[in-house]
Amino acid sequence: MRRLGLAFAATGLASCATMPPPQPHSLDHGLLIARAQARGAIFWRRTNPADSARIVALDSKGVPVPGLEAMSGLAVNGYMVFFGMPAGRYVLRTASFPARGVRYQLTAPLEAEAKRAVVLRPGTAAYLGDHGFNSIWPEFMVAVERGARIVAHWLTPFLKRPLLPRDAPMRDFEAGPAAETKALLAVRGALSGTQWRRIVDARLRELSAPEPAKISGVMRPRELPLKEEPFLGWRDTLDWGEPRRAAGGLAWRRPGGEAQIAVFFTTASAPGFRGWDAAVSELRRSAWASVEDSGGVYEVRVATRVGLSVRTTKYKYPDGVLVGSETAVILTETTMVPDGYGQYTARLRAPRGEFEAVLPAYREFLLQLVLGPPKPKSAPKQEPVMPFLGGPR
């Protein structure tokens, strides 16, 4: 218990929103994300997102543990992040936002607090939820008193901002998979270069969260359209032109280069297909047979799934040339993804000098895939036919 309290104290000391994200101090520590915003008392369309929050730990009975609380350590894109959190059960208590030269505090109700709590597993990320508040006007004398404090701070801006309570009952709370995915994607970029990014990416894989569609254009940005094939959908992030099509397969060649990318689907009933385990064994053998490569199998994300990958090196000798005099070194990365109806395979093949330059674009292309046949299009809504005298026209 004392160790848990020390972890909370360390988190509180590192809670300045302007500081860079700290690296994890323990593999068991996780990350929490929360969102809170208040609608205006008059202009309901205007919202104030909170940039600082406080959470508390709950015991097994849902009762707050005395002294075990933490302040958020980063605010980005309307979300607040808590770093270095031990495993446990947490709930948001208060949040605050700056306005009119002071800071307003939102307070979550104690009712149904246990239902809003989230369990953080060791070394993972979790979402505390999206808390929405509706601001209301305080009583007249209360408003006058708070107005005086605001004016006083305007006259003494060198002093610390006053913290004023905001009369705002909580109107709604959302913490489902869609809201959590949105939160993880919103903070992911700010965590690049830290081990927290790995934790966030792992949680996104758990949720099978698709990558946001890539945006193209400067003056009028728009999402790249999804091109649907019988076995998957793809977005033209490569800009290599139209692919060559075959039954269950697509292939692209880099304009002006030799790099090639292929994606194909093998059905479970295809001749020679012996199942996923046999395919993985064959993949490992191909890796060990490559002299220059370690033979290790690693994971690569493909769409919302995770595939097993290997990299192999091949020496190509032109016809009519003595072995060892002239060689072309070809690198290949092969990724396999299991499926209930068979198996997806993606492959990048390129000369060594071109491979590393193309690899980032290839990985991005894999993330933008949508595996599986296109969803059936819903029938267009039929406009009701208004009867009229004389029958149909």
Q: How far is Cα 243 from Cα 153, in angstroms, rounded to an integer?
A: 64
pLDDT score, position 290: 60
What average pLDDT does the segment 250-262 reach? 96
Check whether 267 has a pLDDT greater than 90.
yes
Q: How far is Cα 32 from Cα 27, in angstroms, rounded to an integer?
A: 15
Contact 70, 11 (CB under 8 A): yes
pLDDT score, position 42: 66
Rg (CA), the chain: 28
Q: Where in the sequence of the chain do the CATH 3.40.1000.10 domains occur?
A: 224-371
What average pLDDT does the segment 120-141 reach? 90
- The domain at 224-371 falls in which architecture? 3-Layer(aba) Sandwich (3.40)
Partners of 164 in beta bridges: 104
Check whether 390 has a pLDDT greater than 90.
no
Tokens found for residue 353: 């000098």
Check whether 7 has a pLDDT greater than 50.
no
Check whether 10 has a pLDDT greater than 70.
no
pLDDT score, position 15: 39
Q: In Å, how far are 1, 4, 5, 11, 111 from 66, measured between CA atoms?
A: 11, 12, 10, 16, 18
Burial category of 217 from C-beta neighbours within 10 Å (exposed 0-12, middle 13-18, buried 19 and up): exposed
Taking the chain, what is the end-to-end CA distance rounded to the nearest angstrom?
81
Per mean pLDDT, which range of 73-87, 135-149, 223-237, 273-287 is the poorest? 135-149
Q: What does 75-102 look like in DSSP terms, one character per residue?
A: EETTEEEEEEEPSEEEEEEEEEEEETTE
Partners of 30 in beta bridges: 85
Length of the chain: 393
User: What does residue 199 show for φ and ψ, rounded to 5 degrees?
Assistant: -65, -40
Confidence of residue 19 (pLDDT cuts 50, 70, 90): low
Confidence of residue 295 (pLDDT cuts 50, 70, 90): low
Q: How far is CA 24 from the centre of its chain?
A: 19
pLDDT score, position 166: 87
Confidence of residue 143 (pLDDT cuts 50, 70, 90): confident
User: What does residue 294 show for φ and ψ, rounded to 5 degrees?
Assistant: -70, -20
Partners of 215 in beta bridges: 223
Check whether 46 has a pLDDT greater than 50.
yes
pLDDT score, position 38: 92
Q: What does 317-344 look like in DSSP terms, one character per residue?
A: --TTS-TTTS-EEEEEEEEEEEETTEEE
Check whether 3 has a pLDDT greater than 80.
no
Q: How far is Cα 239 from Cα 255, in angstroms, rounded to an integer?
A: 9
Q: How far is Cα 359 from Cα 22, in angstroms, rounded to an integer?
A: 30
Handedness of CA 79, 84, 89, 93 (dihedral sign): negative
Q: Which ranges of the chain does DSSP label H, i.e. alpha helix?
A: 2-13, 113-116, 140-155, 177-188, 195-206, 276-288, 352-367
pLDDT score, position 226: 93
Contact 62, 56 (CB under 8 A): no
pLDDT score, position 18: 47
Computed over every residue of the chain, the mean pLDDT equals 84
What average pLDDT does the segment 165-194 reach? 92
pLDDT score, position 320: 56
User: What does residue 158 show for φ and ψ, rounded to 5 degrees?
Assistant: -75, -10
User: What does residue 180 show for φ and ψ, rounded to 5 degrees?
Assistant: -65, -40
Check whether 120 has a pLDDT greater than 90.
yes
pLDDT score, position 323: 53
